[in-house]
Amino acid sequence: MNIAFPAFFILILIIPGFIFQNSYEKVENTSIEKKPFDVSSSLAFFYALILHCFLIYVLVPLSGSEVNFELCIKLLTGSKTLSETELGVINRSIPRVLIYFALSFLLAYIFGKFVQWGIFKLNPYKSSKLSFDTPWYYELKGKLSDTQDAQIIKLSCLVESKNTAFLYYGLLEDFYLDSNGQLDRVVLVDAMRRPIESDEMSTDDLQNSGSQRFYEIKGDRLILKYEDIKNINIEYLYITEEN
């Protein structure tokens, strides 16, 4: 048997763990949590082990089949003593093996999304015991605690352009993180801007000069790169019902 086949077989067995991990740690365009490769690989192996145990001891018996562990061990160890009977069993089992791995990939993705949904449902805030370790997600979602759950978020972003600094102000519509989990860009709607020099002028001076403190920006969405932003001020707005 080719020595590369056992390595390929092991890789196929572990892939569902990576699929689960990627599904669990992603929500739309936002990376929830980023781990080092060694930690990620160990967790993927653990997740794959749990998933295969579930498939082998729950779903496979329900289909009326069983796993030939002796043959699996020979394949994993690259044994060269496979008999004609065992080769025939492998040949006849190819369709079922393909279905097994396809099902494992699909279930890994579904279980990952389900576990992620459960974590956010039971621990939706930054102060929750099982909240994700993210520097930006909860801050920009406004989910700090059960008493600080903002419905509207406004950002003030200081951006330097050549020799002029502008303050951009608007409603936060969306944000994106890079592969390291750091903020990459923010999207503002109903955005306005003003040059910082306007802060040095009093209200009377502004009125006399006919200038405005804020200027409306034409367009539907304003995208600001985080690398161009010097600082961000977050304003949380809460909607409450009055009796």
For 2-52, give the DSSP string: -THHHHHHHHHHHHHHHHHHHHHTEETTEE-----HHHHHHHHHHHHHHHH
Q: What is the pLDDT of residue 210?
A: 44
Tokens of 53: 């145990």
Tokens of 99: 């279905």
- Cα–Cα distance between 123 and 236 in angstroms, integer? 20
With 0.75 as the threshold, say if the pTM is over it. no
Q: What is the pLDDT of residue 209?
A: 44
Rounded mean pLDDT of 131-152?
A: 85
Q: What is the pLDDT of residue 221?
A: 92
Among the ranges given (68-77, 143-152, 187-196, 218-227), the one the predictor scored with the smallest mean pLDDT: 68-77
Rounded mean pLDDT of 79-89?
A: 78
Architecture of domain 137-237: Roll (2.30)
Tokens of 241: 């019902």
Q: How many CB atoms lie within 10 A of CB 125?
A: 17
pLDDT band at 23 (very low <50, low <70, confident <90, very high): confident
Q: Is 174's pLDDT higher than 60?
A: yes
Rounded mean pLDDT of 88-112?
A: 89
Q: What is the pLDDT of residue 33?
A: 63
The structural domains of the chain, with segments of one domain joined by +, span 4-122, 137-237
3-class secondary structure, 234:
strand
Q: What is the pLDDT of residue 82?
A: 77
- 233, burial (CB in 10 Å: exposed 0-12, middle 13-18, buried 19+): exposed
- Pick the residue with more confidence: 212 or 120? 120
- Pick the residue with more confidence: 183 or 40? 183
- Cα–Cα distance between 201 and 225 in angstroms, integer? 28
3-class secondary structure, 172:
strand
pLDDT above 90 as % of the chain: 28
Q: Is 196's pLDDT higher than 60?
A: yes
Q: Is 119's pLDDT higher than 80?
A: yes
Q: What is the pLDDT of residue 148?
A: 84
Under DSSP, the state recorded for 227 is G
3-class secondary structure, 90:
helix
Q: Is 234's pLDDT higher than 90?
A: yes
Encode 54-70: b = buried (16+ Cβ within 10 Å), e = exposed.
ebeeeebeeeeeeeeee
Rounded mean pLDDT of 116-138?
A: 84
Q: Is 27's pLDDT higher than 70?
A: no
Tokens of 62: 């329900």
- Cα–Cα distance between 14 and 4 in angstroms, integer? 16
pLDDT band at 233 (very low <50, low <70, confident <90, very high): very high
Could you tell me which residues come within 8 angstroms of residue 72 by beta carbon, excluding any fewer than 6 positions away? none
